[in-house]
């Protein structure tokens, strides 16, 4: 099945409130992969705040599309390796991997559609529903707003809620966690995310003070570039550390695992190399009994988590854009159900394509 054409476009999708207070929207660089069998795969990669979108698109159009066009769409592994090895000098972090990921996601969509099977079954079905955690809790929120958001998730059967650490006054963060724990009671798990804001000493101080808050995980304590420091925090605090949303490919995750930097890994299918590489990362982590809880993109990560034995939770953000998808993912009793449609099962709604495409 030959790839005849790859149409690249960009969609700028505004965030719904309240996320829009944090960043206005995200860009989706879309690659529609067409084949001589008439099957079209939807590949895309999402850039938060639109950061780097034009560069990802240029890399995709200039370096990847010419390499992939005319190839056999079903040779996903070979195409992945060629995209990876083709890069000279940018290194497989950041822009090149975002671009590769879009193609890989589109190729798995084609494989599923050609086999008339959902991707999660082709990847090795492990479960037919995956638990989610509710995410949001931006720094601007009051404690009442945090509790309200958590209760909104709880009403949907969700048992885990995550919010941000990083207010300038360190003790204020500790107090916020204590107050939210008190308000929610002990039957809801709480996760916190420092978003790389603090140094090792501050994280250890905060992590130790939060010991009695019964936290599920403590995310991205330090700069993602410094794996040794993350491992230092993980060894010193009594809360499991999660990290990986800013890591790329199996090599980056190998380094996190070898350093014992985290008990939960948060790969992002758009940043780490599509379905192909996310599965490799998940299997590598399984050999160390490290769990996978992917970063955002629940509409695709639901298929990954349905296919791996060491999946923990899928992240669902409060205030995700509405009307983006033909078949939006829906929380059912605290879980997402992987799509039964062939391929990855996702397609942008006609309305979203019309309203958000900025450069077809």
Residues that bind Mg ion (CB under 5 A): 193
Nearer to Mg ion, 220 or 277 (CB): 220
Nearer to Mg ion, 25 or 244 (CB): 244
Is 164 part of the annotated catalytic residue set? yes
- Does a cis peptide bond (omega within 30 degrees of 0) precede residue 38? no
* Residue 37 CB, nearest approach to Mg ion (Å): 39
* Residue 316 CB, nearest approach to Mg ion (Å): 13
Selected catalytic residue, list 295, 301, 335, 344 = 295
The tokens for 118 are 């959902």
DSSP track, 83-138: HHHH--SS-SSSHHHHHHHHHHHHHHHHHHHHHTSBHHHHTT---S-EEEEEE---
Selected catalytic residue, list 92, 164, 335, 344 = 164
* DSSP conformation class of 168: S
287 with 254: CB under 8 angstroms?
Answer: no
The tokens for 348 are 């942008």
Q: Between vectors from CA 64 to CA 61 and to CA 67, what angle results, nearest 5°?
A: 120
Residue nearest to Mg ion (CB): 193
Nearer to Mg ion, 123 or 230 (CB): 230
Rounded-to-integer distance, Cα 55 and Cα 281, Å:
26
Q: Which of 323, 241, 246 is nearest to 290 (CA)?
A: 241
Residue 340 CB partners (closer than 8 Å, separation 6+)? 118
Rounded-to-integer distance, Cα 160 and Cα 134, Å:
6
How far apart, in Å, are the Cα atoms of 42 and each of 14, 132, 307? Answer: 21, 24, 20
Is 93 part of the annotated catalytic residue set? no
Among all residues, which ones are annotated catalytic?
A: 164, 295
């Amino acid at each position: 099945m030959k790839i005849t054409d790859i149409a690249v476009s960009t969609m700028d999708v505004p965030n719904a409130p309240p996320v829009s207070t944090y960043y206005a929207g995200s860009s989706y660089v879309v690659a529609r992969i067409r084949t001589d069998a008439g099957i079209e795969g939807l590949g895309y990669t999402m850039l938060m705040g639109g950061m780097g979108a034009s560069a990802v698109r240029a890399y995709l159009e200039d370096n990847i599309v010419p390499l992939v066009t005319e190839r056999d769409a079903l040779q996903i592994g070979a195409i992945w390796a060629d995209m990876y090895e083709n890069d000279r000098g940018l290194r497989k972090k950041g822009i090149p991997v975002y671009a590769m990921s879009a193609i890989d996601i589109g190729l798995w969509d084609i494989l599923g559609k050609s086999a008339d099977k959902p991707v999660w079954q082709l990847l090795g079905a492990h479960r037919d529903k995956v638990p989610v955690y509710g995410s949001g809790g931006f720094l601007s929120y009051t404690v009442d707003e945090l509790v309200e958001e958590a209760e909104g998730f709880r009403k949907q059967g969700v048992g885990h809620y995550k919010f941000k650490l990083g207010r300038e006054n360190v003790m204020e963060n500790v107090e916020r966690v204590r107050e939210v724990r008190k308000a929610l009671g002990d039957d809801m798990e709480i996760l916190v995310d420092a978003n790389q804001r603090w140094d090792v000493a501050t994280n250890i101080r905060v992590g130790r003070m939060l010991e009695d808050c019964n936290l599920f995980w403590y995310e991205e304590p330090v700069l993602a570039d410094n794996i040794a420091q993350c491992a230092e925090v993980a060894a010193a605090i009594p809360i499991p550390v999660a990290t990986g949303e800013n890591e790329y490919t199996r090599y980056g995750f190998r380094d996190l695992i070898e350093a014992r930097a985290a008990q939960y890994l948060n790969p992002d299918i758009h940043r780490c190399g599509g379905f192909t590489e996310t599965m490799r990362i998940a299997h590598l982590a399984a050999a160390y009994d490290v769990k996978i809880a992917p970063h955002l993109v629940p509409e695709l990560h639901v298929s990954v988590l349905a296919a791996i034995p060491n999946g923990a939770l899928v992240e669902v953000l409060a205030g995700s854009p509405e009307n983006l998808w033909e078949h939006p993912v829906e929380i059912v009793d605290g879980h997402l159900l992987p799509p039964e449609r062939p391929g990855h099962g996702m397609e942008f709604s006609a309305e979203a394509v019309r309203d958000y495409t900025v450069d077809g």
